[in-house]
A = this chain, B = another copy of it.
Amino acid sequence: MHYTRDQINNLEKIKKINLINSCSGYKSANLIGTISKEGITNVAVFSSVTHLGSNPPTLGFILRPTTVPRDTYKNILESGVFTINHIFEDIIEDAHHTSAKYEEAISEFDITALEDEYHNDCIAPFVKGSPVQMEMKFIEEYHIKSNNVIHIISEIKNLYVKDYILNDDGFLDLAKGKVAAINGLDAYAIADGNTRFNYQRPKKLNTMK
């Protein structure tokens, strides 16, 4: 099946957003937790958290300030801090519900079964039970002009991981944590396991193919 750019542009709206949201491949499934100046907590599902580098430990994510979840953006700029929590099997349905648009100033922790918890002096809420929880410090932001989205750059301040997913070499086995990956806008997949490879060195060139 072949779609040209013109054909993509002319697709019916729901079909287009389903197609274009699933064509980038699997996406990370995270809940981002924040708190407002007034003390109202917020937690929202994001599928764009990306590794930018290990030294300093840096993650980025994309938000669209003109639509939901604008609370996340406002709270991050105000407080300078937020949390990233992996979505796992037991909380998928509640995590997905955080994408609903409420008019009222409510916390998603009050309208779902998600529970907040707090570690050390971090004022932003973590999601209880999540096998990977991170306290993030806001570093900088980039406005992506061609598409009118914001790229948030942040560093890990504290990392909390469940023992049973941590290997001796530092690898976090997400399958052991029943961590979800997002496919498109509304589908969540959980892998049973994975295949690890070695660090790749060049082949001798006379053994090509």
Residues of A whose CB lies within 8 Å of any CB of B are 1-5, 8-9, 11, 14-30, 47-60, 62, 64, 84, 86, 92-93, 96-104, 106, 110-113, 119, 132, 134, 139-140, 142, 144-149, 151, 153, 155-163, 166-167, 169-175, 179-181, 183-184, 186-203, 205, 208-209
The answer for the CA separation of A175 and B196 in the assembled complex, in Å, is: 19
Nearest B residue to A12 via CB reads B170
27 A-B pairs (CB sep. < 8 Å): A1-B162, A2-B119, A8-B156, A8-B159, A15-B169, A23-B134, A24-B84, A25-B29, A25-B179, A27-B28, A27-B50, A47-B51, A53-B149, A56-B146, A56-B147, A60-B151, A96-B200, A97-B200, A101-B202, A110-B209, A113-B209, A171-B183, A175-B183, A187-B195, A187-B196, A189-B191, A192-B192
Q: Are B158 and A4 within 8 A (Cβ)?
A: yes
Nearest B residue to A106 via CB reads B205
Q: Kindly identify which residue among B100, B192, B197 contacts A203, using a CB–CB cutoff of 8 Å.
A: B100
Total identical chains = 2
The answer for the CA separation of A9 and B157 in the assembled complex, in Å, is: 10
Q: Do most interface residues of chain A lie in helix, strand or loop, or is the interface mixed?
A: mixed
List chain B residues, Cβ under 8 A from A23.
57, 132, 134, 156, 159, 161, 172
A58, A173, A194, A203 pick with most chain B CB within 10 angstroms? A194
A97, A148, A202 pick with most chain B CB within 10 angstroms? A202
Q: Are B2 and A160 within 8 A (Cβ)?
A: yes
List chain B residues, Cβ under 8 A from A110.
208-209
